[in-house]
């Protein structure tokens, strides 16, 4: 783990912020399940899935197509115009969405009128918040971005506890808190970027030719966002027709555990694009391959420990988070982690495609596999339930990654995909998990889930380290 000490200060701040964000997202779960109930948490899961489907449509990919291009722009007027134009477009689309929800709720879903309105508001403010976050990152204000992330996560917990103390928490009040907090974050970021003179209010105006510059390019990102939603969220919507709120919550939080790898990946991958662009200008592709190889190795080595720990501890943690007792197979967590892991190691090749001006393939590949995943979910979930969703997810993630790697090879990528040492680590993990599964089916250590989980974890870590050393010795002697 010496590489953790050698990380750049900004990367360490990013690592800390990702930890706080992820920890807070888990901490909010027991607040809801203990204070409101597991049924309401299941409803909240569905609301989150709906919001995550709406946001890409409202964002129009402006956080990528317009805002990322401002990374090399120092002109305050241009920054202001493009940020305001993006803000205005999102606001206009959100107004249309709000009107649609208002009409539909009034005519057909009066019982859900308030929730529908709050969903539209949260979707809007989430979109603006993401736009502002990306603007900060484009201006190399990574630390500021991290501080706002931390503020957002911590104060969600604080405000929720205050409201519960004063008014008694319910799902509607929690949605009010989410809305208020997003408005507050947007306001604070606005003050900061004005004070730092990144934008100036006197230059506020709409950019010319919004349709050609903003809307048309954004339609591609809308398709991409929808495909990602089909891959990562549509399964929960379909499963909600076949599972109780408890098991839908188990499935959702298991996915949250696996998404910890996304947070780890973002720590290592966040600075790739600007680095690759500079190296491309120098035609130094050898260095690009080296960076991808090094980042992949660090990510794989670090992730294996996280995967092993979280798979074994997930049933214990979920029992406390969801305030419920249940039994699920460890394979559910394994498949989730395999899916996210395979997708994360594709990031290096994804950025390679972008610097080769092959971003079109990345978009098309994402859309195709998003459609495939939704088709698989629709066909398999009704009969196989959770396992149908999991295997569909795994097939889609592996398919996306393999097609990206094959395409990158065709476009001249000459670096190693997985180093020998990392490959040995993966084999060591596989053997450890197999032995773990055999062991738990033969011998039950204790009826106490906490004691059992801790003992399993200690044994598994020792076993993994032992197997890894043996395989490395064999490798060196052959």
User: Is residue 466 one of the residues assigned to a domain?
Assistant: no
pLDDT at position 396: 92
Output the average pLDDT for the chain: 84
Instruction: Return the closest-CA partner of residue 217 out of 420, 62, 381.
Output: 62
- The answer to whether residue 314 scores a pLDDT higher than 60 is yes
pLDDT one-digit tens code per residue, 340-398? 888 888 777 777 787 777 878 888 888 899 899 999 999 999 998 889 999 999 999 99
Please report the DSSP string for 309-375 in residue order: HHHHHHHHHHHHHTT------HHHHHHHHHHHHHHHTTHHHHHHHHHTT-HHHHHHHHHHHHHHHHH
pTM of the full structure? 0.82
SS3 240: coil
CA 140 to CA 165: how far, in whole Å? Answer: 40
How many angstroms separate the Cα of 247 from the Cα of each of 48, 319, 321, 386? Answer: 16, 12, 13, 9
pLDDT at position 11: 65
User: Is residue 31 one of the residues assigned to a domain?
Assistant: yes
What's the total number of domains in the chain?
1
Q: How confident is the model at residue 437 (pLDDT cuts 50, 70, 90)?
A: confident
CA 400 to chain centre: 16
pLDDT one-digit tens code per residue, 95-117? 988 887 778 767 666 667 888 88
pLDDT at position 467: 93
- The answer to whether residue 1 scores a pLDDT higher than 60 is no
User: Is residue 464 one of the residues assigned to a domain?
Assistant: no
User: Is residue 4 one of the residues assigned to a domain?
Assistant: yes
Contact indicator for 55, 347 with CB cutoff of 8 Å: no
User: Is residue 57 one of the residues assigned to a domain?
Assistant: yes
User: Is residue 32 one of the residues assigned to a domain?
Assistant: yes
SS3 193: helix
- Residues contacting 64, CB < 8 A, separation 6+: 134, 221
CA 417 to CA 345: how far, in whole Å? Answer: 9
Contact indicator for 381, 389 with CB cutoff of 8 Å: yes
Range of the domain at 196: 1-232
- The answer to whether residue 270 scores a pLDDT higher than 70 is no
- The answer to whether residue 455 scores a pLDDT higher than 80 is yes
How many angstroms separate the Cα of 201 from the Cα of each of 148, 173, 183? Answer: 22, 34, 19
User: Is residue 50 one of the residues assigned to a domain?
Assistant: yes
- The answer to whether residue 5 scores a pLDDT higher than 60 is no
CA 261 to CA 302: how far, in whole Å? Answer: 10
User: Is residue 404 one of the residues assigned to a domain?
Assistant: no
pLDDT at position 215: 84
Let me know the angle formed at the C-alpha of 269 by 263 and 273, rounded to the nearest 5 degrees.
Answer: 140
pLDDT at position 114: 84
- The answer to whether residue 293 scores a pLDDT higher than 80 is no
- The answer to whether residue 233 scores a pLDDT higher than 70 is yes
Instruction: Return the closest-CA partner of residue 232 out of 392, 368, 21, 60.
Output: 392
Contact indicator for 253, 310 with CB cutoff of 8 Å: no
CA 107 to CA 427: how far, in whole Å? Answer: 58
CA 64 to chain centre: 16
> How many CB atoms are closer than 10 A to CB 343?
23
């Amino acid at each position: 783990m010496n590489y953790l000490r050698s990380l750049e200060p900004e990367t360490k701040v990013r690592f800390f912020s990702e930890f706080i964000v992820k920890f807070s997202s888990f901490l909010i779960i027991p607040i809801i399940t203990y204070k409101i109930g597991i049924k309401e948490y299941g409803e909240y899961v569905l609301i989150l899935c709906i919001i995550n489907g709406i946001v890409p449509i409202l964002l129009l990919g402006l956080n990528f197509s317009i805002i990322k291009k401002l990374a090399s722009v120092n002109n305050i007027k241009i920054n202001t115009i493009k940020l305001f134009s993006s803000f205005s477009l999102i606001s206009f689309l959100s107004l249309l969405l709000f009107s649609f929800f208002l009409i539909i709720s009034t005519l057909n879903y009066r019982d859900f009128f308030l929730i529908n309105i709050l969903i539209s508001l949260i979707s809007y403010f989430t979109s603006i918040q993401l736009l502002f976050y990306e603007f900060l990152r484009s201006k190399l204000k990574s630390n500021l971005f991290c501080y706002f992330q931390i503020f957002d996560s911590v104060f969600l917990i604080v405000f929720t506890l205050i409201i519960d103390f004063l008014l008694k928490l319910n799902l509607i009040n929690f949605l009010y808190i989410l809305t208020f907090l997003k408005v507050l974050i947007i306001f604070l970021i606005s003050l900061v970027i004005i004070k730092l003179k990144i934008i100036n209010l006197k230059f506020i105006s709409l950019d010319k030719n919004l349709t050609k510059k903003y809307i048309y390019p954004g339609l591609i990102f809308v398709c991409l966002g929808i495909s990602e939603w089909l891959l990562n969220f549509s399964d929960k919507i379909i499963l909600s027709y076949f599972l109780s709120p408890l098991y839908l919550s188990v499935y959702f939080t298991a996915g949250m555990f696996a998404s910890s790898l996304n947070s780890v990946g973002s720590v290592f991958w966040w600075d790739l694009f600007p680095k690759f662009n500079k190296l491309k200008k120098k035609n130094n592709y050898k260095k690009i391959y080296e960076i991808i190889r090094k980042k992949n190795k660090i990510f794989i080595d670090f992730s294996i420990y996280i995967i092993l720990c979280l798979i074994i501890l997930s049933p214990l943690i979920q029992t406390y988070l969801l305030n419920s007792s249940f039994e699920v197979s460890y394979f559910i967590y394994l498949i989730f982690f395999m899916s996210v892991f395979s997708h994360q190691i594709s990031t290096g090749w994804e950025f390679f495609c972008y610097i080769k001006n092959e971003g079109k393939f990345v978009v098309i590949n994402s859309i195709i596999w998003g459609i495939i995943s939704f088709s698989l979910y629709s066909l398999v979930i009704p009969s196989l339930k959770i396992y149908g969703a999991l295997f569909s997810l795994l097939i889609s993630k592996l398919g996306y990654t393999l097609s990206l790697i094959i395409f990158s090879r065709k476009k001249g990528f000459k670096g190693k995909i997985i180093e020998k040492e990392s490959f040995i680590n993966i084999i060591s993990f596989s053997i450890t998990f197999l032995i773990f599964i055999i062991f738990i089916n033969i011998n039950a250590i204790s009826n106490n889930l906490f004691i059992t989980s801790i003992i399993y974890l200690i044994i598994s870590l020792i076993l993994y380290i032992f197997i890894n050393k043996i395989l490395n010795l064999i490798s060196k002697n052959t």
